[in-house]
A and B are shown apart, each in its own frame.
Chain A
Amino acid sequence: KAGVTQTPRYLIKTRGQQVTLSCSPISGHRSVSWYQQTPGQGLQFLFEYFSETQRNKGNFPGRFSGRQFSNSRSEMNVSTLELGDSALYLCASSLGLAGGPEELFFGEGSRLTVL
């Protein structure tokens, strides 16, 4: 079956602009999580969405936001971009079952460069 699809794969923005990244989870998966990967800070959890509701949120400023649609596709938005927002943004999907852990299936990421 198709994996997690993230678009766009690469993009370049300038400071002050905003960006929207998209993630299509594996069919049947209802949970989508977002992570930021940078050389300095490593992999950091941004937020998780399940059934169109944010279920968990990491320690990022309000400029970072997301949403999930009824078909489980998710978008994340970063407003007023800063140079430090340059990163690989990874989306991961899972079934979203309550209780124990699940395997997260990661997309290939969207690489954002802020100039």
Chain B
Amino acid sequence: AQSVTQLDSQVPVFEEAPVELRCNYSSSVSVYLFWYVQYPNQGLQLLLKYLSGSTLVKGINGFEAEFNKSQTSFHLRKPSVHISDTAEYFCAVSDLGSARQLTFGSGTQLTVLP
């Protein structure tokens, strides 16, 4: 069984400041890792994913994440946020055999302040 912990439920940050959203996971097997974003009244959109290879993954909208196997973390970062980045962000994992069965974290609400 897997689990995902998003350490911060809410993150307020000023526009153009950097941001890091933290995610830790627990699994007894190798996993795939994902970050999804959900804007109000919308479904989820994939930001980026880690499958294998380079531990630094770049995604859409200027986001990137770093996979750290020893710390079982997959933190999401953006060097400079915009008002339009205000949304809820979900970290998720799946094991190699059930690629479409995602286990999600509880989400982090990112609010970008002017």
Contacts and interface: CB of A to CB of B under 8 A. Distances in A.
Give the contact-size bracket for chain A. 20 to 34
Contacts of B43: 4, 90, 92, 106-109
B97 to A, nearest CB: 9
B99 A42 contact: no
Give the contact-size bracket for chain B. 20 to 34
A100 interface: yes
Contact of B104 (A4, A43, A56, A107): A43
Contacts, number: 61
A106 to B, nearest CB: 3
A107 B44 CA distance: 8
Top 6 closest pairs, chain A to chain B, by CB: A106-B43, A43-B104, A101-B99, A106-B44, A101-B32, A42-B106
Interface of B: 32, 34, 36, 41-46, 49, 51, 90, 92, 94, 96, 98-107
Interface of A: 4, 31, 33, 35, 42-45, 48, 55-56, 58, 90, 92, 94, 96, 99-104, 106-109
